[in-house]
Chain A
């Protein structure tokens, strides 16, 4: 399954999931940064968990559920993405898909992370432009706003 749709692909065993997504399937949100699993730019969800698609061989995902950023942000931006927009969190945008997915996973597992926990949750995604502050602020704001909304309900 890819973004909710069942698909069938033929690929060589030595092709990575990242290569398949970008080159064969036109899914451009995961990026090739370091290609070794350190930078997080290639992050996708595999069976609900964030993984490095550059370190996964295509045959490994046979029968699995792959979700990329495209899969969660259509038809509308997610609430979390709106916070990133409002905080001007990204500059070149290269790290953005990985950051959004990692932050999404963080908040799914822990809806009320502390600042330290936010930093830890995003520590696998490297950013060369922003210095991380606006990205972390967006997530912290999302947490605070959600908490405030829940309390007021």
Chain B
């Protein structure tokens, strides 16, 4: 498939230059990072830009993965105040726009502190794609089957652009539609969480594919459990999100409510079946799977239940230190 439209290519060296270019060509320009989504779109003529703005020559934060402790949350002007149990021990992860999935896999910082991101990165496409594809590009593509969406939802991620900070839940409007304006560029993704000193977290990312190896998700689920120890009690919060079974990745608040009621009773497995029944009953109201080339709606609906049950069990076992290795397959 040759790309048939004539394209003018720019490689700005600063964000400001890139924004200027977007403002100069408001109707028909396209940002380029890894290109693993943009170039197929050009070939299939889904997108027909006249101007390509390549971000890869821009230096600075957008190339980095950074983790820092926030001593005093008031000192960060650009981050909105977060209510949390222990506001003193906060850490902020920043993943820049040009960070590839391979960069995330190679990062000990990600592997140790954000294992769901690591586990998800492992199953994105293939090595050749992961060496170029960026996690920011993945969310900007806004495809319903994106792998990073459910995981970032469970981490309550925020998208930092040159203009504002957008909670990830509000970032996607519909299939292949994000909320960015014409001259807006994503600079990175931030995740604020309580630092490991005061909490333990574990989770599970499960991606259903037609076969082992590379494939788009037929359905995916991300489960994150944060467990907090304070002087008085141990508490836990659970976050669950689904991918590829709705127009956009979606948080399962109804299920989180049901599971959270049991937060201090993880060992009472005899309650488990009842809790699962209640939780599974809510799934048809949360998701809206379609039938397409990769799977039927009925299959997706059924498998989401299976993935949820197995995934939650594994996440709890991982929290207790007895779970499977991150990156191992579950279905």
Contact = CB atoms under 8 A, between A and B. Distances in A.
Contacts, number: 89
Interface in A63-87: none
What's the dominant secondary structure at chain A's contact region?
mixed
Interface stretch (B124-132, B155-163, B194-202, B274-282): B124-132
A38 B124 CA distance: 12
Contact of A57 (B6, B35, B213): B35
Interface string A33-59: 001111010010010011110111101
B7 A105 contact: no
A49 B131 contact: yes
A55 B9 contact: no
Which of B32, B54, B125, B127 has the most A CB atoms < 10 Å from its CB?
B127
B173 interface: no
Nearest to A38: B214
Interface in A1-52: 12-16, 19, 35-38, 40, 43, 46, 49-52
A102 interface: yes
Interface in B10-39: 11, 32, 35-36, 39
B8 interface: yes
B166 to A, nearest CB: 28
A15 B7 CA distance: 9
B5 interface: yes
B231 interface: no
A134 interface: no
A124 B7 contact: no
B128 A56 contact: no
Interface of B: 1-9, 11, 32, 35-36, 39-40, 42-43, 52, 54, 56, 102, 125-129, 131-132, 212-214
23 contacts: A12-B6, A12-B7, A15-B3, A19-B2, A37-B125, A37-B129, A46-B131, A49-B131, A55-B39, A55-B40, A56-B39, A56-B132, A57-B7, A57-B32, A57-B39, A59-B9, A62-B11, A105-B127, A119-B212, A120-B213, A124-B128, A124-B129, A124-B214
